[in-house]
Each structure stands twice: as C-alpha cells, then as structure tokens.
Amino acid sequence: MAGEPLVVLAPDKFKGSLTAPEVAGALARGVARRAPKARVRCVPVADGGDGMVDAFVASGWKRIEVAAPGPTGQASTAVYAVRGDTAVVELAAAVGLVKLPGGRLDPLRADTFGLGVTIAHALDGGAKEIVLGLGGSASTDGGSGLLRALGLRLLDQQGRELAGGADVAATLEQVASVDRAALHPAVATARFTLACDVDNPLLGPAGAVAVYAPQKGANARQMVKLEAGLTNWAAVLGTGYAEIGGAGAAGGTGFGVLAVLGAQVRSGIDVLLELLEFTTLIDGARLIVTGEGSLDHQSMHGKAPVGVAAAAKKAGVPVIAAVGRTLLSPGEIRAAGFATCYPLSDLEPDPARSIIAAADLLERIGERIAMEHLS
C-alpha cells in the first residue's frame, strides 16, 4: 500500500451540472480504470457558496436537517453540518435562490429569517462556533431577517417593533433603533466566522445592491428602495461595519452578522481547508486534482480551485485542474499554481452537451490524468 500513489481529488461543484462530490466521483472512476493500484482520496471542496455543507458531509461531518422557512416564508427544510462544537451553516441551503418557490425571484419580500432559525437550531444543539457560508442569496435584507430570528428586535421611531413583512426595503427604512435584550443567549459566547469569496462593502457602486440585486430580480426602482433601506440600516447598526470588505456579501447579510454578532470575515476556501485539515489529507500525495465549472479571471479572487492550488504549493504537491472550460491562457494557468488544465470543452465544445454529459467527460479526463501523471 505504501508504494501505491495517492491521488487527492478536491474539486468544487460544476454549477448547473454536478455537485462537488459527483465531480470527485466521476474523476475517481476514470482514474481507477487506468491506474487501478492508485489510492484515490475524494475531498470535495467549496468556497463558501452553495455546496459547502455537502463538502463537509462528504468528509464525514454529521448532516443535520431543520424545519426553517425559505426566503419568502414558505415551509421548508434547511441543512447544516456538525462536528464537535462546530457547525457549518450554508445560506444557500436555507434561504438561497435555489429555495425560491418555482424559482420565482422576489427581491423585496425575500429575507434571511430562515437562516437565523437554522443558526438558532445549531446553537441550541451546543454549537460554539458557527461557520456561515455566504453565497447564492435570494434577498437583500442586510441580514435583518437572520437577526430577528435570533431575537433582535427592530424598532421604529415610536419604539414599536417592526416584524418584517412584504417589503424588506420599507422595513429597513423605518428602523430607528434595535433592542438586543432578547438575543439568543448563546450568541454572547459563540464565535461566528463568515466564509465568503467576495469583498464588497455594503453600500455604493460596489455594494450589495448595485452589484448583486439585479441577479435577484430587482429593477431600477426597487434598487433605489433597497439602497435607501440598507443606508438607514447601516446608520442604525454602525456605518463602520458597512465599509468592511464582505459586508455586502449575500445581500448585506455579512454586514448584519458583523455588526451584531461580532463575526470575522475569512476566505471561504481557506476556512474549509482548515476545518477539513487538508494538509493532513494531502500528506504523501503524488498529485492533487481540483477544478470547477469555469476557470476564469474571477477564479483568481478567492475561488476554491486557486485556494487548493495554494495549499498544494505549500505542501510541495503538484496540482492540476479539471474544469468545464477555461478562459485563462496557459501562462495564467501556470501562474495560478496549476501544472496543467484539462477542460471538458476540449472533448465536447458544445456547452449544452458538455453540461449534460459532464460526468462521462470527467471520467475520460480522469483516465487521461492517470495515464499522463500516474504511469
């Protein structure tokens, strides 16, 4: 066994096609056909967005289900992952775009209340560290829904409680103060980490509304309302928090958690690799394979494959990328830390067909990797 090569497969999801565990599984089947004696270790990864809980569950963490309202209040189920007193909670799995009924965008009504319900469940279960993966958000509520679910009371100028409702922007514009007295008691001692791959502030041309609200269905008039609401929300909780990189993540959820829960912002992939003890998992590996649907210039800014490549470089293990497509030049690929890159588009140039046949194509890529790097 000791002489057999160890290959670590650590891909992110291929969005719209395969989950990270499915990508790793397809590559593993291909490697096994051409290098049956190789030891293959699958370590699916994520950068903080959708798929983060799946990555931890695939690595042996316990999967927990909880009844929690979706982004527009409908009855739904959220999931999170637990090991010891650490819980990994994924926004997308509770109140993300994928949880919208029928996929119908609802930019003014969607909120993060169900995410707060999920966090409260983890705290009730004894979690002392909450890692919150931000990404795939359906709302732009500044994290106000999440905080209400944890007991924060939003008050208007007359001291009346604002319970949320049909218009998130209008609610945020009316907030004059907050009452923290009823916050979940475990919040005082729990540690919160925001795992995200964006560094947007809350407000302005690079903020939550300007950059991301159109993706959630907001038109120009609604964007003006949402920006006004978040501006007032920032004035109430503290404008200094609004300027921190990551405050604009997930419709301003980052801001709310920073301002009220004292969270720390970290790169999603860095948090994941640390919690999974990735350096131990790749010890003695001959090769690491990572990847995602599209390896492009955005990948250079905190995306999972580049984070894996950085970890591999520190360990002195060569890393290659298996991706749906790449928009990078060979020089840029090498500069990002990859020895080489295998895009599915080389096998199937038609994007639609490539997405449908991604698993079969990845198996073929796995075979090629085994022949060229493990022989």
**φ and ψ of 63, to 5 deg:** -90, 125
Tell me which of 233, 268, 303 is where a domain ends: 268
Distance between CA atoms of residues 88 and 320, nearest Å: 28
Q: Are 291 and 339 members of one domain? A: yes
Residue 373 has what pLDDT?
94
Q: Mean of the pLDDT values across residues 346-350?
A: 95
Q: Are 82 and 217 members of one domain? A: yes
- Residues 321-343 have pLDDT tens digits of 999 999 999 999 999 999 999 99
Q: Are 241 and 321 members of one domain? A: no
Q: Total structural domains in the chain?
A: 2
State yes or no: pLDDT of 301 exceeds 90: no
| DSSP code string of 256-286 | HHHHHH--EEEEHHHHHHHHTTHHHHTTT-S
> What H or E segment, with its residue span, contains residue 321?
strand 319-323
Q: Are 141 and 255 members of one domain? A: yes
- Residues 84-105 have pLDDT tens digits of 999 999 999 999 999 999 999 9
CATH number, residue 160: 3.90.1510.10
CA distances from 188 to 129, 180, 183, 239, 256 (A): 12, 11, 9, 22, 15
Q: Is the residue at 1 inside a domain? A: no
Q: Are 31 and 123 members of one domain? A: no
Which of the residue ranges 49-53, 287-291, 342-346 would you say has the lowest mean pLDDT? 49-53
Tell me which of 268, 297, 323 is where a domain ends: 268
133: β partners: 90, 195
| DSSP code string of 75-114 | --EEEEEEETTEEEEETHHHHBGGGSGGG---TTT--SHH
Q: Is the residue at 65 inside a domain? A: yes
Residue 16 has what pLDDT?
85
- Residues 284-295 have pLDDT tens digits of 999 999 999 998
Q: Is the residue at 159 inside a domain? A: yes
- C-beta of residue 177 within 8 angstroms of C-beta of residue 290: no
Q: Is the residue at 12 inside a domain? A: yes
Give burial (CB, 10 Å; 0-12/13-18/19+) of 141: buried
Q: Are 328 and 257 members of one domain? A: no
State yes or no: pLDDT of 2 exceeds 70: no
Distance between CA atoms of residues 98 and 96, nearest Å: 5
- Residues 239-250 have pLDDT tens digits of 999 999 999 999
Tell me the Ramachandran region of residue 144: left when phi exceeds 0, alpha when psi lies from -120 to 50, beta otherwise.
alpha
Residue 296 has what pLDDT?
87
Residue 300 has what pLDDT?
77
State yes or no: pLDDT of 13 exceeds 80: yes
State yes or no: pLDDT of 52 exceeds 60: yes
With H, G, I as helix, E, B as strand and everything else as coil, classify residue 154: strand
Q: Are 168 and 203 members of one domain? A: yes
Assign 67 a pLDDT band (cuts: 50, 70, 90). very high
Assign 3 a pLDDT band (cuts: 50, 70, 90). low
Assign 50 a pLDDT band (cuts: 50, 70, 90). confident
CB contact set of 261 (below 8 Å; sequence gap of 6+): 147, 150, 187, 190, 192
- Mean pLDDT computed over every residue of the chain: 94
> What H or E segment, with its residue span, contains residue 294?
strand 294-295
Q: Which domain holds residue 368?
A: 6-45+277-373
Q: Are 350 and 309 members of one domain? A: yes
Residue 297 has what pLDDT?
85
Torsion 352-355-356-357 (CA) sign: positive
> What H or E segment, with its residue span, contains residue 312?
helix 304-315
* Percent of residues, the chain, with pLDDT higher than 90: 90
Distance between CA atoms of residues 26 and 29, nearest Å: 5
- Residues 219-239 have pLDDT tens digits of 999 999 999 999 999 999 999
Distance between CA atoms of residues 21 and 26, nearest Å: 9
User: Residue 286's CB: how many other CB atoms inside 10 A?
Assistant: 15
Q: Are 294 and 237 members of one domain? A: no
Tell me which of 268, 300, 326 is where a domain ends: 268
* Spatial CA neighbour of 324 closest among 298, 357, 369: 357
Q: Mean of the pLDDT values across residues 115-121?
A: 98
Residue 137 has what pLDDT?
94
Distance between CA atoms of residues 267 and 167, nearest Å: 32
Q: Are 127 and 83 members of one domain? A: yes
- Residues 158-184 have pLDDT tens digits of 999 998 778 999 999 999 999 999 999
